[in-house]
Amino acid sequence: MTTAASPSRVEIDYTGSERLTMNMGPQHPSAHGVFRAILTLEGEQVVGVDAVIGYLHRCHEKLAETLTYAQYPSIASKTDYVAAMTSEFAYVRAAEMIGKIEVPKRAQYLRVIAAELQRVASHLLWLGTWCLDMGGALGGGATIFLYCIRERELVLDLFESLVGARLLYGFYQVGGVRYDLPPGWPEKCRETVDLIDRRIDEYQRMLEENPFFLVRTQGVGVISRELAQEVGISGPLVRGSGVNFDLRRTDPYSSYEDFDFRVPVETGGDCYARYRVRMVEFRESLQIVRQALDRLPEGPVSSRPGLKSVAQVRIPKGEAYARVEGARGEVGCYLIADGSAKPYRMKWRGASFSNLAVLPHIIPGHKVADVVAIMGSVDPVFGEVDR
Amino acid sequence: MAEWVYPLIAPFIVLNAILGIVTYVTLLERKFAARMQSRIGPYRVGPHGLLQPIADAIKLMMKEDVVPTAADRPVYILAPVVFLIPCMLIFATIPFAPGLGVADLNIGILFFLAVSAMEIVGLFMAGWGSNNKYALLSAMRAVNQVISYDLPFIFAALVPVLLAGSLRLSDIAAAQAGLWFVFYPVIGQLAFVAFIVSTVAAENRAPFDILEAESELVAGFRVEYSGMKFAIIQLGEYAHVIGASFLGALLFLGAWAGPGPEWMGPIWFLLKAMFVFLVVTWVRWSFVRIRVDQILALSWKALLPATLVLLVGTAVVVVWRTPGV
């Protein structure tokens, strides 16, 4: 075994028992998307893992060069389709940074509301699918999964009445957001937020008082603080390993400094620590939504006039890297503009892609069943990994 | 009626009754699970989805029966049958009412436990014959698990045997005329809990369903099976669970004892067996699956010593309470 400080791959010495190579994916019930892990097994023990990605590559970055600044945000949502708002956010922020475009306060608050609701929806899906991985489609996991999906639907209903879409939104635009709140939306949002808050308590009791859940997650897939920093993981993973890093706090954007929230940090580094971090994040996100609704200023929702043609938004020559704290970690967008209506070059920094890099370091030495628990706790979305 | 007619008719009736019960128990489980998950469950086929099991059976019969090229053909084809036979045979010694059963052997419970453990042969054949890595891993897990949990299962089932002083199932049922064994102070409840836990594990139900573990092993030993072969494996599995539920109702819940006239006996027995089944189902749909090493540790380090101590304790109590020993 290597020490955790050097991020070279963990290799387990040959013990003499027969080895078995087993494919997990790209089509497998617990692959979150199309991920292929080639596992080398000795009995139940995993001694090596090769991660193969790229099955969902859709030329997103090249595509960005062919679409205008007005068009691409709707496509950006397709990178991380589980938290679609986040990638739109990063893209429009990059464009605004180059063009030095002011965003009205109301639009900034609406962006925060959408981003935080999106985080809640994404974490709900994570909790459901993670338990599904551990508990089986024909077992207790399915029960939690269906509960979580029920609540996620409520958030999607909110998005639907705001944007008109349930999965890929195109809500963010250079200079602001596309729509103002429809009448009655804040009240509906408050109700939903309160309901989800109560339900999360319920899930937490259901899981944390369940010894089977604890033995499956505690001490499994430990990412040490050193490894976390060297591999470059972000989001709940790095906070579960004792690193206090949250872009909303360390590099505030879009008026995040106005809100009062906690950044949860756990030192365990195991699946359970990551679970705890996300459970606190649920509450903090709901808290931010409440605060934003309370203090929502009046005013325009965009600093730019309404769009008459797709090529109307022109960004001056320049380049910028914008990053936002997505549900899975740091989502970054590097944009080079050449003064036309389309970017010259664009590069994504997907949170899932960087987080996935930690898998070969932590999986060997665990049992087959732990592989799915660890994979689920990393919470990758393959649209964002392969782009 | 001639002497030889009964042994011919009784198994025929019991076998068909079991098939009928198993078919509808799947619907019961689906409805129950649906309520737990705030869903409705099967609803479209027939009133309240009552024809759903029939539709499922027809669907499975119409499916293409695929045999993998690389499979060990005779083993692969034989496995579902080998799996089904012990699952059906366990019903042979269960008396459904006084004097109503296929064979009331004087070693009835021994027969039940012995035959019930035989399902592992079919499981392993299915896992081996499929020539699939997932299936092979699952078969390995199956052997581990079934061997580990049959012992506590047997020890827990032997507690009522000691209390009743007989291996004959009808005697055990009759011994509970005054007091159901589940209400026997301390011993009864502990044994019942141990019995439920080891039933869940020995039947490979979640949270101990590591051999089908679809998040790791896709579908485990039956990953290559389709059509009627798959249906037969499912049938066997459910029959085994129902058999164990009947055994639980007989050993701990007083079998056919209940208010009402005597002909109500079998109905009470069925209701109690369904209660045990629903407890097992309730456990299944509430817990996440545990890992294979944790399952084995639970059996060998906790359940087996506990049931052993319980058994010895029961023996001491029985000797102490029996006058004139």
B261-280, pLDDT tens digit by residue?
Answer: 777 778 888 888 888 888 88
What integer pLDDT is reported at residue A321 of this predicted model?
92
- Chain A to chain B Cβ contacts (< 8 Å): 111
Is the distance from CB of B103 to CB of B92 less than 8 angstroms?
A: yes
Is the distance from CB of A175 to CB of A103 less than 8 angstroms?
A: yes
Closest listed residue to residue A220, CA positions, set A13, A386, A25, A369? A369
- The correct CATH number of A60-386 out of 1.10.630.10, 3.40.50.9100, 3.30.420.40, 1.10.645.10 is 1.10.645.10
Q: Is A249 exposed, middle or buried (0-12, 13-18, 19+ CB in 10 A)?
A: middle
Q: What is the pLDDT averaged over residues B12-27?
A: 85
Of B209, B216, B284, the CB nearest to A368: B216
| DSSP type of residue A12 | -
Residue B289 forms contact with A (CB below 8 Å):
yes
Q: What is the pLDDT averaged over residues B226-230?
A: 85
Distance from CA of B173 to the nearest CA of A (A): 33
What integer pLDDT is reported at residue B225 of this predicted model?
87
Of B39, B284, B291, the CB nearest to A370: B291
- Amino acid letter at A254? S
What integer pLDDT is reported at residue A334 of this predicted model?
92
Q: What is the ipTM of this complex?
A: 0.77
What integer pLDDT is reported at residue A336 of this predicted model?
92
Residue B63 forms contact with A (CB below 8 Å):
no
Is the distance from CB of A229 to CB of A243 less than 8 angstroms?
A: yes
What integer pLDDT is reported at residue A288 of this predicted model?
92
Closest listed residue to residue A301, CA positions, set A215, A195, A176, A148? A176
Could B215 and A133 be called an inter-chain contact, meaning their C-beta atoms sit closer than 8 Å? yes
Q: Tell me what the pLDDT averaged over chain A comes to.
A: 85
The residue in chain A having the minimum alpha-carbon distance to the alpha carbon of residue B293 is A367
Q: Indicate whether A374 pLDDT > 70.
A: yes
- Residue ranges in A209-224 assigned as alpha helix (H): 211-217
Q: What is the pLDDT averaged over residues B13-19?
A: 84
Q: Tell me what the pLDDT averaged over chain B comes to.
A: 83
> How far is residue B6's CA from residue B103's CA, in Å, rounded to a whole number?
10
Q: Which residues of B touch A132 (CB under 8 A)?
A: 215
Q: Which residues, listed in sequence order, are joined to residue B233 by a DSSP beta bridge?
A: none
**Cα–Cα distances in angstroms (integers) from residue B284 to residues A150, B32, B208, B275, B281, in the given order:** 21, 11, 9, 14, 5
> How far is residue A74's CA from residue B268's CA, in Å, rounded to a whole number?
62
Q: How many residues does chain B have?
A: 325
Q: Indicate whether A14 pLDDT > 70.
A: no
Q: What is the DSSP string of A91-124?
A: HHHHHHHHHT----HHHHHHHHHHHHHHHHHHHH
Q: What is the pLDDT averaged over residues A188-205?
A: 90
Q: Indicate whether A113 pLDDT > 80.
A: yes
Of A20, A41, A135, the CB nearest to B289: A135
| DSSP type of residue A83 | S
Kindly report the backbone phi and psi dihedral angles of residue A185, in degrees, each rounded to the nearest multiple of 5, phi listed first: -65, -45
Say how many C-beta atoms besides its own lie within 10 A of residue B214's C-beta.
Answer: 21
Residues 204-243 of B with CB under 8 A from A: 206-207, 209-210, 212-218
> pLDDT tens for residues A30-78?
777 788 888 888 877 888 888 888 888 888 888 888 988 888 888 888 8
The residue with greater pLDDT, A357 or B181, is A357
Q: What is the pLDDT averaged over residues A357-384?
A: 86
Q: Which residues of B touch A213 (CB under 8 A)?
A: 287-288
What integer pLDDT is reported at residue A16 of this predicted model?
62
Helix (H) or strand (E) holding A345: strand A343-349
Say how many C-beta atoms besides its own lie within 10 A of residue B241's C-beta.
Answer: 25
Token pair for residue B84?
């089904």
What integer pLDDT is reported at residue B325 of this predicted model?
58
Distance from CA of B164 to the nearest CA of A (A): 35
> How far is residue A367's CA from residue A47's CA, in Å, rounded to a whole number?
9
What integer pLDDT is reported at residue A285 of this predicted model?
92
Distance from CA of A175 to the nearest CA of B (A): 43
Could A143 and B37 be called an inter-chain contact, meaning their C-beta atoms sit closer than 8 Å? yes
Q: Indicate whether A137 pLDDT > 70.
A: no
What integer pLDDT is reported at residue A7 of this predicted model?
45
The residue in chain A having the minimum alpha-carbon distance to the alpha carbon of residue B215 is A30
The residue in chain B having the minimum alpha-carbon distance to the alpha carbon of residue A30 is B215
Q: Which residues of B touch A146 (CB under 8 A)?
A: 37-39
What integer pLDDT is reported at residue A2 of this predicted model?
42
Distance from CA of A21 to the nearest CA of B (A): 9
Distance from CA of B288 to the nearest CA of A (A): 4
Say which range, A171-180, A186-195, A257-266, B2-11, has the weakest mean pLDDT: B2-11
Handedness of CA A232, A234, A236, A240 (dihedral sign): positive
Distance from CA of B65 to the nearest CA of A (A): 22
pLDDT band at residue A192 using 50, 70 and 90 as cut-offs: very high
pLDDT band at residue A120 using 50, 70 and 90 as cut-offs: very high
Q: Which residues of A touch B39 (CB under 8 A)?
A: 146
**Cα–Cα distances in angstroms (integers) from residue A250 to residues A46, A176, A232, in the given order:** 38, 23, 16
Q: Indicate whether B27 pLDDT > 70.
A: yes
Query: What is the strand order of the sheet A45-52 is part of?
Result: A20-24, A36-42, A45-52
Burial A284-310 (b: 16+ CB within 10 A, else e): bbbbbbbbbbeebeeeebbebeebeee
> How far is residue A31's CA from residue A382's CA, in Å, rounded to a whole number?
10
> pLDDT tens for residues B114-143?
888 888 888 888 888 888 888 888 888 888
Could A139 and B137 be called an inter-chain contact, meaning their C-beta atoms sit closer than 8 Å? no
Residue B304 forms contact with A (CB below 8 Å):
no
Could A212 and B207 be called an inter-chain contact, meaning their C-beta atoms sit closer than 8 Å? yes
Domain segments of chain A as ranges = 60-386
Token pair for residue A373?
């628990």
What integer pLDDT is reported at residue B296 of this predicted model?
85
Q: Which of B40, B289, B293, B298 to mutate to test the interface with A (most CBs of A within 10 A)?
A: B289
Could A136 and B213 be called an inter-chain contact, meaning their C-beta atoms sit closer than 8 Å? yes
Strands (E) in B226-313, as ranges, are none
Which residue is listed with tokens 């489980």? Answer: B29
Is the distance from CB of A91 to CB of A72 less than 8 angstroms?
A: yes
β-pairing, A45-52 with A172-173?
unpaired
Residue A295 forms contact with B (CB below 8 Å):
no
The CA R_g of chain A, rounded to the nearest whole Å, is: 21
Q: Which residues of B touch A41 (CB under 8 A)?
A: 137
Q: Which residues of B touch A136 (CB under 8 A)?
A: 206, 209, 212-215, 288-289
Of A140, A147, A369, the CB nearest to B291: A369
Q: Give the three-state DSSP class for A245.
A: coil
**Cα–Cα distances in angstroms (integers) from residue B225 to residues A154, B26, B59, B86, B123, in the given order:** 39, 19, 15, 19, 12
Q: Which residues contact B308 (CB under 8 A, 6 or more apart)?
A: B155
Q: Indicate whether A139 pLDDT > 70.
A: no
Closest listed residue to residue B184, CA positions, set B250, B253, B95? B253
> pLDDT tens for residues A252-311?
888 888 888 888 888 888 889 999 999 999 899 999 999 999 988 888 888 877 777 777
> How far is residue A22's CA from residue A369's CA, in Å, rounded to a whole number?
13
Residue A26 forms contact with B (CB below 8 Å):
no
Q: Which residues of A touch B287 (CB under 8 A)?
A: 135, 139-140, 210, 212-213
Could A143 and B134 be called an inter-chain contact, meaning their C-beta atoms sit closer than 8 Å? no
pLDDT > 70 fraction of chain B, expressed in percent and rounded: 97
The residue with greater pLDDT, B186 or B245, is B245
pLDDT band at residue A5 using 50, 70 and 90 as cut-offs: very low
Q: Give the three-state DSSP class for B76.
A: helix
> pLDDT tens for residues B41-75?
888 888 888 888 889 888 888 888 888 888 888 88
Of A140, A146, A370, the CB nearest to B287: A140
Kindly report the backbone phi and psi dihedral angles of residue A335, in degrees, each rounded to the nearest multiple of 5, phi listed first: -125, 135
Chain centroid, CA A22 distance in Å: 29
> How far is residue A99's CA from residue A176's CA, in Å, rounded to a whole number?
13
> How far is residue A94's CA from residue A92's CA, in Å, rounded to a whole number?
5
Could B289 and A136 be called an inter-chain contact, meaning their C-beta atoms sit closer than 8 Å? yes
Q: Which residues of B touch A24 (CB under 8 A)?
A: 216
Q: State the first-to-last Cα distance of chain B, in angstroms, to the nearest integer.
A: 45
Residue B296 forms contact with A (CB below 8 Å):
no
Could A133 and B218 be called an inter-chain contact, meaning their C-beta atoms sit closer than 8 Å? no
Of B37, B218, B285, the CB nearest to A29: B218
What is the pTM assigned to this prediction? 0.83
Residue A281 forms contact with B (CB below 8 Å):
no
pLDDT band at residue B316 using 50, 70 and 90 as cut-offs: confident
What integer pLDDT is reported at residue A15 of this predicted model?
60
Token pair for residue A359?
């898998």
Is the distance from CB of A91 to CB of A335 less than 8 angstroms?
A: yes
pLDDT band at residue A4 using 50, 70 and 90 as cut-offs: very low
Q: What is the pLDDT averaged over residues B268-295?
A: 85
